[in-house]
Amino acid sequence: MKAGFVTLFGRSNVGKSTLLNSIVGTKLAITSPKPQTTRHQIQGVIHDDRGQIVFVDTPGIFTTSKSNLAKYLNKAAENALNGVDVILHVVDPTRSIGPEDKKIMSTIANTKLPKILVINKMDLHSTPHLASFRAMAEDYNFAIELSAKTGQHGKSLINAIFDLLPESEALYEYGQLTNLDNNFWFAELIREKLFLRLREEVPYSINVKIDEITERPDGSMYVSAKVITNVERYKSMIIGLGGRGIREIGQSARKELEGVTGKKMYLDLQVIVDERWTEEFK
Ligand SMILES: Nc1nc2c(ncn2[C@@H]2O[C@H](COP(=O)(O)OP(=O)(O)OP(=O)(O)O)[C@@H](O)[C@H]2O)c(=O)[nH]1
Ligand SMILES: [Mg+2]
C-alpha cells in the first residue's frame, strides 16, 4: 500500500483549510474570510484501497507582517515541511501572485519532494490571475484546477497524490480521521465563531481554552470554556451590548457542536482578560 504526509502550503486565505475539510469530508479545520485563521497543524486522513493520505493543514505564509503572531505562524508552516512526502502549493487566482507565493516557491524549490500546484476557487466567475498561475505549472510535478468549496475535481487531486506517494505501512489506524481531540476541536469551533463575528484586529488577540467537557447521565454534554483576550477594550467588544455578542457566538458554536456530536449541548462561555497569553507567540 501507499501512505504519506501531504502538506497544504500557501498564503493566507487561499482556501487550504476549506480544501482539507472538503477532501476529508468533515469539518476538521475552521475557516473564515479573514486571513490568519489557522494557527496549528491539523491533520486529516483519507483511507482508500490504494492506501492512506494524511493531509497536513498549515497556517498561511506571511511576508508583510512582522508581528510575533505572523512569525510564529510562518515558523509553524515551515516546520510542517519536515517529514513530508508531497507538497501541495495552494493558490488563489482571484488575487495576483504575491510575495508570499514567491517565498513559498523558493522554499519548496530547494526540496526534492514532489510538488503539486493547486489552483483553487475555480467555481468563481472572475479569476483574473489564472493565466499567470497556469504559467507556473512547469515547476511542479502536476497542476490541477479545482474548487474546495464545491468539491469539483477533488478526486483528480487524490489520484495525482497517490501517483506520487511512496510505498509505506499505514500511518493511522483504519477509520481514524484526524489527530485532533475534542478539547482542541471544540475550542477551534468557538474561535471560528469569534472570527466570523468580530471585526478587524479583535479576533487575532483571542484564544479559547476549554475548562470542562462533561457527558451527563441524560446523554447531553456540558462544556465550559474561557475566551481569553489581551486587551480590556476587546473584552467588552466580545461580550457586546447587554451580552448579545457572546450570546450569539455561544449559540452558533452550540448549534454546530450539536450537529457534529449529535448530542444536546450546554455551552458556558466566560470572557476574561489575560495579557500573558500572547507571550506564547514570542
Ligand atoms: N468561492 C470559493 N471560496 C473559497 C474556496 N475555498 C475557500 N474559499 C473561501 O476562502 C476563504 C478562506 O478560506 P480558508 O480555508 O479559511 O483559507 P486558508 O488558506 O485556510 O486561510 P489561513 O488559515 O488564514 O491561512 C473562506 O471565506 C472560504 O470560504 C473555493 O473553492 N471557492
Ligand atoms: Mg486555514
Q: Are residues 116 and 221 part of one domain?
A: no
Task: Confirm whether 173 is domain-assigned.
Answer: no
Nearest CA to ligand 1 atom 32: 121
Minimum-distance ligand 1 atom for the alpha carbon of 59? 25
pTM of the model: 0.88
Q: Are residues 151 and 186 part of one domain?
A: no
CA of 216 to the centre of ligand 2 (A): 33
pLDDT at 282: 44
Q: Is the CB of 93 under 6 A from ligand 1?
A: no
Q: What number is the average pLDDT over the span 14-41?
A: 89
Nearest CA to ligand 1 atom 23: 38
pLDDT at 112: 86
Task: Confirm whether 177 is domain-assigned.
Answer: no
CA of 33 to the centre of ligand 2 (A): 10
Q: Is the CB of 240 under 6 A from ligand 1?
A: no
CA of 222 to the centre of ligand 1 (A): 31
Q: What is the pLDDT of residues 139-148, one digit of tens each?
A: 999 999 999 9
CA of 151 to the centre of ligand 2 (A): 17
Q: Is the CB of 52 under 6 A from ligand 1?
A: no
Q: How far apart are CA 21 and CA 28, in angstroms?
A: 6
Q: Which of 134, 164, 194 is the last residue in one of the domains?
A: 164
Q: Are residues 55 and 160 part of one domain?
A: yes
Non-local CB neighbours of 224 within 8 Å, separated by 6+ positions: 210, 211, 212, 267, 268, 269, 270
Q: What 3-state DSSP class applies to 48?
A: strand
CATH number for the domain harbouring residue 243: 3.30.300.20
Question: Which pairs from 261-265 meet CB under 8 Å and 24+ separation?
Answer: 261/221, 263/215, 263/219, 263/220, 263/221, 264/219, 264/220, 264/221, 265/220, 265/221, 265/222, 265/223
Nearest CA to ligand 1 atom 8: 15
CA of 39 to the centre of ligand 2 (A): 8
pLDDT at 71: 75
Task: Confirm whether 176 is domain-assigned.
Answer: no
| Beta bridge pairs of residue 270 | 226
Q: Is the CB of 18 under 6 A from ligand 1?
A: yes
CATH number for the domain harbouring residue 37: 3.40.50.300
Q: C-alpha grid cell for residue 7?
A: 502538506
Comparing 20 with 282, which gets the higher pLDDT? 20
Q: Which ligand is nearest to the CA of 19?
A: 1
CA distances from 169 to 2, 47, 188, 280 (A): 7, 12, 31, 36
Q: Are residues 229 and 137 part of one domain?
A: no
pLDDT at 278: 61
Task: Confirm whether 170 is domain-assigned.
Answer: no
Q: Are residues 212 and 151 part of one domain?
A: no
Q: Are residues 154 and 50 part of one domain?
A: yes
Task: Confirm whether 207 is domain-assigned.
Answer: yes
Residues shown for the chain: 282
Confidence of residue 227 (pLDDT cuts 50, 70, 90): very high
Q: C-alpha grid cell for residue 110?
A: 530547494
Q: Are residues 139 and 83 part of one domain?
A: yes
Nearest CA to ligand 1 atom 11: 33
Q: Is the CB of 21 under 6 A from ligand 1?
A: no
Minimum-distance ligand 1 atom for the alpha carbon of 60? 25
Q: Are residues 75 and 188 part of one domain?
A: no
Q: Which of 164, 192, 210 is the last residue in one of the domains?
A: 164
pLDDT at 140: 96
Q: How far apart are CA 199 and CA 197, in angstroms?
A: 7
Q: Which ligand is nearest to the CA of 29?
A: 2
Which amino acid does the sequence have at 258? E
Q: Are residues 112 and 34 part of one domain?
A: yes
Task: Confirm whether 169 is domain-assigned.
Answer: no
Q: Is the CB of 58 under 6 A from ligand 1?
A: no
Q: Are residues 84 and 7 part of one domain?
A: yes
Nearest to 57, CA basis, from 17, 84, 18: 17
Q: Is the CB of 12 under 6 A from ligand 1?
A: yes
Got the DSSP string for 225-268?
EEEEES-HHHHHHHH-GGGHHHHHHHHHHHHHHHHHH-S-EEEE
Q: What is the pLDDT of residues 127-185, one digit of tens each?
A: 999 999 999 999 999 999 999 999 999 999 999 999 999 999 999 988 788 888 888 88
Q: How far apart are CA 235 and CA 245, in angstroms?
A: 11
Q: C-alpha grid cell for residue 247?
A: 450570546
Q: Are residues 117 and 6 part of one domain?
A: yes
Q: Are residues 104 and 33 part of one domain?
A: yes
Comparing 110 with 280, which gets the higher pLDDT? 110
Task: Confirm whether 171 is domain-assigned.
Answer: no
- How many domains does the structure of the chain reveal? 2
Q: Is the CB of 125 under 6 A from ligand 1?
A: no
pLDDT at 65: 66
- What percent of the chain stands above pLDDT 90? 60
Best mean pLDDT range from 59-68, 76-85, 217-226? 217-226
Cell 515558523, residue located: 75
Q: Which of 111, 132, 164 is the last residue in one of the domains?
A: 164
Enclosing domain of residue 80: 2-164
Task: Confirm whether 85 is domain-assigned.
Answer: yes
